[in-house]
């Protein structure tokens, strides 16, 4: 057992005293470094993007990255699976479309209201279903996503059914947001803000409480954590943020169909989190980038596209079971020692 | 002054009375033990006190207030701390973060201020970390602060749990078989730690099989058998009680 390590365990030998000022700097560097790096990356992409199509991909990655970060808070940190997040995306997308196109609301108001509505739905449904664990929770969230998909597909009078719905071009402060190039900066700003807030959240006491939810209930409860309340509120926050980005995606593309709410979309979102790394905010961004781009890169393989895609996923999971970012970070630390 | 009062407590599972009309009270700031042969109902009693089970009848009071009907995390807020038979540690965080987790109720856990990194949250968390480091030194884990729990020996994990429980500033700490799985030197350290705990004013209740430890640290012992209280008193009284001897060794004609 682990007992035998006793003699060799003191890896944490007496630390070399660091002046407080220097330590503080190192601390804020560790904290702000990734935020600055992401900001630079966002600023540089338009310079290297060769075409409007590249910018379109960048916008899609940005939208997915925000959703993956919010889903990662639920799945990677709190350890609660959701196979229904595409449903929340669709609530944001269709809510915005219906409220603006059918009822004449200002699109941004529709976007805000539908995001909050998705959060409230998650809050209401979360109470009963988040008591479930593992496979059962997966089934319940899957069911939730399917119900949303079915409602959108079938209520033709409201949603247009399989034909989808169009949204008019959004105008903000007199600027027509009619190109990927313009949307890019909006999505980039949301991504950077979300990234910063998610990092803050996981570093705070609430971040520890969320990570404790992944373990046995008795452990979290004995630390004074209200398990049900914390699961439900992170589920609601995650759903609201996902709906927000669903709505942003709808306003950006100008056209939505029920396909965006289907099961495969939920799977792709989960895939971003798992591939990038559970419990890593940066991992979610990387995962979103890969899952969004890989199918495009592989289209040149024609018939073998899905096969290669599947094989890549299997290989990553076999050799990097913790996901790309945590495994790479671990290797770098090991290499430095 | 009594800290924990168990009043006519019963828990029935189907036809089995796992806890049967048990009453005792525990004096504040002392070390106490609950002992009994396997199946005597010690774990059930512990689960009733911590709120994992609700009793069929009876009451549990901490500092005069009833705990019945309150969820575990609320009881923790009322001053109840505990450790587990097999250490329950979060392996997705460092040792010191596990201890900081125990301070959850003393910290601001709202989402929005945390996401915006409000100064009050950051500074409170810094203090929490400093206190957790102190507690780790107190239980003898000063060299493991940033260690990953997976790399720590079993005995250290058991003490890490004690530090986590102490981080919640409990009035009463329940230690579920703290000596189980420990070697002799580790047991000696544990015994010292338990004495230190009561000196610092924390009421301690052990559920333990190791009689040497129980007899050396306890001021008061409650003996259970078949869910009923068989005897209670000082170590000497309990040791000489013929019914206790019979329960442990089998009844001699």
pLDDT tens digits along B95-117: 999 999 999 999 999 999 999 99
* Residue where a domain terminates, one of B135, B169, B203: B169
Q: Chain B within 8 Å of A216 (Cβ-Cβ)?
A: yes
If contacts are CB pairs under 8 Å, which of residues 187-226 in chain B contact chain A? Answer: none
Query: A138 exposed, middle or buried (CB, 10 Å; 0-12, 13-18, 19+)?
Result: middle
Answer whether residue B55 is part of any domain: yes
Answer whether residue B241 is part of any domain: yes
- Residue by residue, DSSP assigns B8-47 as EEEEEETTEEEEEEEEEEEETT-EEEEE-STTSSHHHHHH
Are A12 and B84 within 8 A, CB to CB?
no
Answer whether residue B84 is part of any domain: no
- What is the ipTM, given to two decimal places? 0.91
Distance in angstroms (rounded) separating the CA atoms of residues B198 and B205: 10
Same domain? B178 vs B253:
yes
The tokens describing A214, both together, are 């992944």
Q: What is the pLDDT of residues A64-97, one digit of tens each?
A: 999 999 999 999 999 999 999 999 999 999 999 9
Same domain? B215 vs B233:
yes
Answer whether residue B52 is part of any domain: yes
Tell me the shortest Cα–Cα distance from B24 to chain A, in angstroms. Answer: 23
Tell me the shortest Cα–Cα distance from B16 to chain A, in angstroms. Answer: 24
If contacts are CB pairs under 8 Å, which of residues 134-153 in chain B contact chain A? Answer: 143-147, 151-153
Q: What is the pLDDT of residues B3-47, one digit of tens each?
A: 899 999 999 999 899 999 999 999 999 999 999 988 889 999 999
Same domain? B177 vs B251:
yes
Distance in angstroms (rounded) separating the CA atoms of residues A242 and B226: 54
Top-level CATH class of A39-336? mainly alpha
Tell me how many residue pairs between chain A and chain B have CB atoms under 8 A apart.
Answer: 125
Q: Mean pLDDT over residues A196-210, rounded?
A: 95
Same domain? B152 vs B177:
no
* Residue where a domain terminates, one of B169, B196, B215: B169
Of B76, B146, B153, the CB nearest to A222: B76
Answer whether residue B85 is part of any domain: no
Across A11-20, A213-222, A300-309, least confident range: A11-20
Q: Chain B within 8 Å of A295 (Cβ-Cβ)?
A: no
Indicate the pTM of the whole model.
0.90
Q: How many domains does chain B have?
A: 2
Same domain? B107 vs B73:
no
Query: Is residue A283 pLDDT above 50, yes or no?
Result: yes
Domain that holds residue B246: 1-79+170-253
Instruction: Name the strands in the sheet holding B172-176, side by side, starting at the edge strand that comes first in the sequence.
Output: B80-82, B172-176, B203-207, B31-35, B220-225, B228-233
The predicted structure's pLDDT at residue A19: 58
Of A2, A12, A218, the CB nearest to B88: A218
Are B93 and A211 within 8 A, CB to CB?
yes
Q: Chain A within 8 Å of B104 (Cβ-Cβ)?
A: yes
Q: What is the pLDDT of residues A127-169, one digit of tens each?
A: 999 999 989 999 999 999 999 999 999 999 999 888 899 998 8
Same domain? B73 vs B120:
no
Q: Where are the domains of chain A?
A: 39-336
Same domain? B201 vs B238:
yes
B230: how many CB neighbours lie within 10 A of its CB? 19
Same domain? B205 vs B243:
yes
Same domain? B164 vs B175:
no
Q: Chain B within 8 Å of A7 (Cβ-Cβ)?
A: no
Q: Chain B within 8 Å of A15 (Cβ-Cβ)?
A: no
If contacts are CB pairs under 8 Å, which of residues 73-92 in chain B contact chain A? Answer: 73, 76-77, 81-82, 84, 88-92
Same domain? B179 vs B69:
yes
CATH number at residue B59: 3.40.50.300
């Amino acid at each position: 057992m682990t007992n035998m390590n006793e003699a060799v365990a003191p890896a944490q030998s007496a630390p070399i005293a660091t002046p407080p000022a220097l330590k503080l700097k190192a601390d804020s560097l560790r904290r702000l470094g990734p935020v600055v790096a992401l900001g630079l990356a966002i600023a540089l992409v338009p310079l290297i993007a060769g075409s409007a199509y590249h910018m379109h991909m960048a916008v899609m990655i940005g939208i997915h990255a925000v959703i993956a970060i919010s889903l990662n808070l639920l799945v990677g940190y709190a350890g609660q699976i959701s196979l229904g997040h595409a449903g929340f995306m669709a609530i944001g997308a269709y809510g915005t479309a219906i409220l603006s196109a059918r009822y004449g609301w200002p699109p941004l108001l529709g976007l805000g209201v539908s995001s909050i509505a998705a959060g409230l739905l998650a809050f209401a449904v979360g109470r009963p279903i988040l008591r479930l664990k593992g496979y059962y929770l997966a089934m319940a969230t899957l069911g939730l996503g399917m119900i949303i998909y079915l409602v959108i597909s079938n209520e033709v009078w409201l949603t247009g059914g399989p034909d989808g719905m169009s949204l008019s071009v959004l105008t903000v402060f007199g600027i027509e947001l009619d190109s990927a190039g313009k949307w890019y900066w909006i999505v980039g700003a949301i991504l950077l803000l979300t990234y910063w807030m998610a990092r803050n959240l996981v570093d705070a006491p609430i971040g520890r409480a969320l990570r404790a939810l992944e373990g046995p209930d008795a452990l979290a409860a004995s630390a004074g954590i209200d398990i049900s309340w914390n699961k439900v509120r992170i589920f609601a926050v995650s759903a609201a943020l996902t709906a927000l980005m669903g709505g942003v995606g709808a306003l950006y593309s100008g056209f939505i169909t029920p396909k965006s709410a289907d099961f495969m979309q939920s799977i792709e979102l989960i895939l971003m989190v798992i591939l990038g790394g559970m419990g890593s905010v940066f991992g979610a961004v990387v995962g979103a980038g890969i899952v969004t781009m890989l199918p495009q890169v592989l289209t040149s393989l024609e018939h073998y596209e899905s096969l290669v895609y599947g094989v890549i996923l299997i290989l990553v999971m076999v050799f990097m079971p913790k996901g790309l970012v945590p495994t790479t970070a671990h290797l770098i630390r090991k290499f430095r020692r | 002054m009594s800290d924990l009062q168990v009043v006519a407590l019963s828990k029935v599972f189907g036809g089995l009375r796992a806890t049967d009309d048990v009453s005792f009270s525990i004096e504040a700031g002392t070390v106490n033990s609950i002992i009994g042969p396997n199946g005597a109902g010690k774990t059930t009693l512990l689960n009733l006190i911590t709120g994992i089970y609700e009793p069929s009848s009876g009451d549990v009071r901490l500092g005069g207030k009833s705990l019945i009907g309150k969820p575990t995390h609320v009881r923790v807020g009322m001053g109840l701390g505990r450790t587990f038979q097999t250490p329950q540690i979060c392996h997705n965080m460092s040792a010191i973060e596990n201890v900081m987790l125990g301070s959850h109720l003393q910290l601001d856990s709202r989402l929005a201020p945390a996401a915006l990194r409000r100064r009050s949250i950051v500074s409170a968390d810094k203090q929490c970390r400093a206190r957790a480091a102190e507690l780790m030194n107190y239980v003898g884990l000063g060299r493991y602060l940033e260690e990953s729990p997976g790399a720590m020996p079993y005995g250290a994990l058991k003490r890490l749990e004690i530090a986590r429980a102490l981080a919640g500033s409990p009035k009463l700490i329940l230690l579920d078989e703290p000596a189980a799985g420990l070697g002799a030197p580790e047991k000696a350290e544990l015994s010292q730690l338990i004495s230190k705990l009561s000196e610092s004013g924390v009421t301690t209740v052990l559920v333990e099989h190791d009689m040497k430890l129980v007899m050396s640290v306890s001021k008061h012992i409650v003996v259970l058998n078949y869910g009923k209280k068989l005897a209670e008193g000082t170590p000497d009284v309990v040791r000489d009680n013929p019914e206790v001897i019979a329960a442990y060794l089998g009844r001699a004609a």
